[in-house]
Structure 1
């Protein structure tokens, strides 16, 4: 009997596990090498606070881009809960705020009127009707070979293409909406993890697209059990299919002919693979190949808090509704652009623009029974590029960002938030702040870049592609090495798409068929 093909997956994040599961189910001998002592990469749940039974989604937090096809193909037992409210955005310096209710269009219109932006209500609804056209055309293609730009343009129409692909998203937002706050609510989707002005180039457009096409609707769902529950399911199906997963495996070198050297403890090992799938950042892969690549730059600070209860707001809005979707703080378009300008000049933005999510309002399973009234919130601060680490020092920067996060929150709350923090077993407040440097040290993302590098359009240039790896968007300059993580053409976010795409290309290269 012929020996089955052998594939090594470097990196045990969710995309690597996805690829491993698909390949093992197709009869490939798969070894996954993970540097840390547990799998999952950035898609994990952790008990962050001493003596506190709370499992927080430490880095990744919501799910939008995971296709139902991957769930069905692999038999994943995952539960994703839809949130009723899209977002709440207080108007700084006032007692009003914009509440976007997914289930009540009239209430949303009334909220626009209450903040003095009644004229933007219908343009807002129409704008997101048009982004749905993007999702309906693009998202179904994400688990197939890449379409061409011409095919996507034909599917969405020239006007939608012009507004969302060809022209800086800031220009489109500015001519569509009159109110600065409303403009900012829309612009934030182009800036999560991306350090850019919405006016300068198309980097914000690419980020925006990935934030609005998920599931063809753009909805962002809460993973029941935390993000670690998703990764645990991927690990389960990969192991059950026969994949070998090695933790504490420090990969030291990869060669173009498929040799992988790694160390576990004090022992060095070598594997010879027919194909190597890289689930690490592009810059990390280049270093393993003894090549050079640009160092990416992340642009966010992540904080996790455990509160005794939700804080009161300055406005009359119900905190359960306000924190039930995305809570935007100091994110008018002017504030976002000012923050970008400050950060580019080496200054920490003040006020710091924040995006806040309350997992526990939707999913109480992440908290122990003794925390019946508690709430977890995840804070994602924008425009804090990795260059600030060098100019401020990481420990000092972390302290500054902690203070800026609390101050930014307090500016729209009816009471200070810090006294609401639980204390851990050592009496320390339950608030963790992770800079780009902390993210790099913890999960190996150079520069703290959560996308492993610049995002790309999820389609080919019109000249097409001449290899399976290129057709699936997972090619490198080496025929036997494929990308399977966030650095793949359609990578970024918790999606499994990079892993599925790499597995499909690998099966084609190996002459096998998937189940």
Structure 2
């Protein structure tokens, strides 16, 4: 398919979920919009696939949970998407000498959660500290969340609405300081810390505070921070967004690889190629859904290896004939229903960071496991009731580990599965389904795979380090693009992807905010 015109109000580069959000909002406002996507389908990292031959299970291959997407955005676009809550927030197996058990955090928390803390620590003090800490963070989230679909607030305006200790703990000092001051148990500290490390390679004491920013984004979605399962898989979200954009009149062109963007005073020209050759379209505005590092290349500003983002995650998708039993004796339907933490005590996380920073694959490998099919059996197709999916997300696996050693991927996968086996009463291998060729149903993705498949530089799932979702004190907010956190050095080219100031994760915020800036300008 070719664009129907050579000129549009808005040309959107990339067809990820943020790009589709922009297209839907702008087309609904009556603007002419074309989306150019390099791959043969839209969705970017938010897609569902059937990776295992002979099985109908549709797995969320890359992005897998939804927290940050505002309910208001979903309502604005009339998205036919249902997000389901998980009955378990998290379960963390532990061993202390000859004692073993599991720290259960229910959703919503109840007496079983309190009893689980008491079994681990011996009294109620750590649970009280848990409630106090997350109560404080929750109040911060309630202040920040409503601003995400508004022009950027200044830091000073938000700070005046937040308790001083909470602001200091989350925004001013490395998160490790607050965690170690407010909690005494190594396992509890680790459960708190993991939200700061998803896709982020950092010590909890890193002075850059990238871990703090990651932590905040993981806990502010809709003011609650709850991570929910999209019914039908992550592809259901982007399919709904594509329908919303098309129904509003936007054009979506797949198989269109953009090779250059040339800004001008009144718009920009976009060059792209497909199977029939090179083509050009112009737009009064161009929205970039690709990473800012890639955008600079498209703008002919050069490729700077020193500023290239570096991802840090190991994603393993697994199909099982049945859920394995755990050594703690807990019902697998409870343990796997939420986030199952593995080798993520605070001390283990810091040792794993030190190992990876020194060029070694962590052992044990810290990570967490999710079983989406417990919440949404529909993704299993005709295997619902006779199979389950598992998604493993490993921490402290930066791009450099795998650049330095081609064999590191196999080692990392082995250690990730060993971390899971360490808490099981039976080998995971005994539960694995096999594909049509007799191979175990295991698919692993490292940052290099993400870069190859999705053109995300360095395999960085956020397109680069996350920024605070507000404007610094002295930030210029003169133009709509600046006010919405989507500006570039070119007035006619705006960011609409995860690289926008409030981008990152499956939120649609980058797309919404870019659309609002365009509507204010045109």
Match of 1:180 among 178, 181, 186: 186
> Considering only aligned residues, what root-mean-square deviation do their CA atoms show, in Å?
1.3
Q: Counterpart in 2 of 1:400?
A: 411
Is the CA contact (8 Å cut-off) linking 2:8 and 2:34 kept in structure 1?
no
Q: Counterpart in 1 of 2:288?
A: 278
Is the CA contact (8 Å cut-off) linking 1:92 and 1:330 kept in structure 2?
no
Q: Counterpart in 1 of 2:174?
A: 168
Q: Counterpart in 2 of 1:326?
A: 339
SS of residue matched to 2:316: strand
Q: Could you list the runs of 5+ residues in structure 1 that have no partner in the other structure? A: 511-515
Write out the 4+ residue segments of structure 1 that deviate beyond 3 Å after TM superposition: none
Q: Could you list the runs of 5+ residues in structure 2 that have no partner in the other structure? A: 1-5
Query: Normalising by the residue count of structure 1, what TM-score does the alignment of the two structures yield?
Result: 0.96
Following the alignment from structure 2 to structure 1, what is the Cα–Cα distance between the partners of residues 342 and 233?
24
Q: Counterpart in 1 of 2:3?
A: none
Q: Counterpart in 1 of 2:274?
A: 264
Following the alignment from structure 1 to structure 2, what is the Cα–Cα distance between the partners of residues 103 and 446?
38
Following the alignment from structure 2 to structure 1, what is the Cα–Cα distance between the partners of residues 234 and 210?
27
Is the CA contact (8 Å cut-off) linking 1:117 and 1:179 kept in structure 2?
no
Following the alignment from structure 2 to structure 1, what is the Cα–Cα distance between the partners of residues 206 and 237?
36
Q: 1:142: Cα distance to partner? A: 0.3
Q: 1:5: Cα distance to partner? A: 5.6
SS of residue matched to 1:384: strand
Following the alignment from structure 2 to structure 1, what is the Cα–Cα distance between the partners of residues 395 and 474?
36
Following the alignment from structure 2 to structure 1, what is the Cα–Cα distance between the partners of residues 56 and 85?
25
Q: 1:157: Cα distance to partner? A: 2.5
SS of residue matched to 1:235: helix
Q: 1:412: Cα distance to partner? A: 1.1
Establish whether residue 10 from structure 1 lines up as the match of residue 10 from structure 2: no
Following the alignment from structure 1 to structure 2, what is the Cα–Cα distance between the partners of residues 130 and 218?
13
Q: Counterpart in 2 of 1:458?
A: 469
Following the alignment from structure 2 to structure 1, what is the Cα–Cα distance between the partners of residues 67 and 520?
28
Q: 1:95: Cα distance to partner? A: 2.6
Q: 1:415: Cα distance to partner? A: 1.0
Q: Report Cα offsets for 1:125-155 as digits up to 9, x if no partner.
A: 1111111111110011100001110111011
Q: Report Cα offsets for 1:14-55 as digits up to 9, x if no partner.
A: 000000000011111111011110100000000001111000
Following the alignment from structure 2 to structure 1, what is the Cα–Cα distance between the partners of residues 400 and 39?
26
Q: 1:104: Cα distance to partner? A: 4.2
Q: Where does 1:353-502 land on structure 2 (aligned, <5 Å)?
A: 353-393=366-406, 396-464=407-475, 465-502=477-514
Q: Counterpart in 2 of 1:231?
A: 238
SS of residue matched to 1:137: helix
Following the alignment from structure 1 to structure 2, what is the Cα–Cα distance between the partners of residues 104 and 239?
41
Is the CA contact (8 Å cut-off) linking 2:7 and 2:282 kept in structure 1?
no
SS of residue matched to 2:121: coil
Q: Counterpart in 2 of 1:352?
A: 365
Establish whether residue 111 from structure 1 lines up as the match of residue 116 from structure 2: yes
Q: Where does 1:16-31 land on structure 2 (aligned, <5 Å)?
A: 16-31=19-34
Following the alignment from structure 1 to structure 2, what is the Cα–Cα distance between the partners of residues 150 and 406?
46
Following the alignment from structure 1 to structure 2, what is the Cα–Cα distance between the partners of residues 177 and 207?
20
Aligned residues: 506
Q: 1:373: Cα distance to partner? A: 2.2
Q: 1:114: Cα distance to partner? A: 1.2
SS of residue matched to 1:259: strand
Establish whether residue 210 from structure 1 lines up as the match of residue 217 from structure 2: yes
Is the CA contact (8 Å cut-off) linking 2:451 and 2:458 kept in structure 1?
yes
Match of 1:303 among 316, 320, 337: 316
Q: 1:371: Cα distance to partner? A: 4.2
Following the alignment from structure 1 to structure 2, what is the Cα–Cα distance between the partners of residues 455 and 234?
24
Q: 1:390: Cα distance to partner? A: 1.3
Is the CA contact (8 Å cut-off) linking 2:85 and 2:228 kept in structure 1?
yes
Query: Comparing 212-221 with 97-106, which one deviates more in the overlay?
Result: 97-106
Following the alignment from structure 1 to structure 2, what is the Cα–Cα distance between the partners of residues 492 and 402?
26
Q: Counterpart in 2 of 1:99?
A: 104
Is the CA contact (8 Å cut-off) linking 1:352 and 1:381 kept in structure 2?
yes
Match of 1:242 among 237, 249, 272: 249
SS of residue matched to 2:160: helix
Q: Report Cα offsets for 1:373-412 as digits up to 9, x if no partner.
A: 211011000000000121112xx23211221111111111
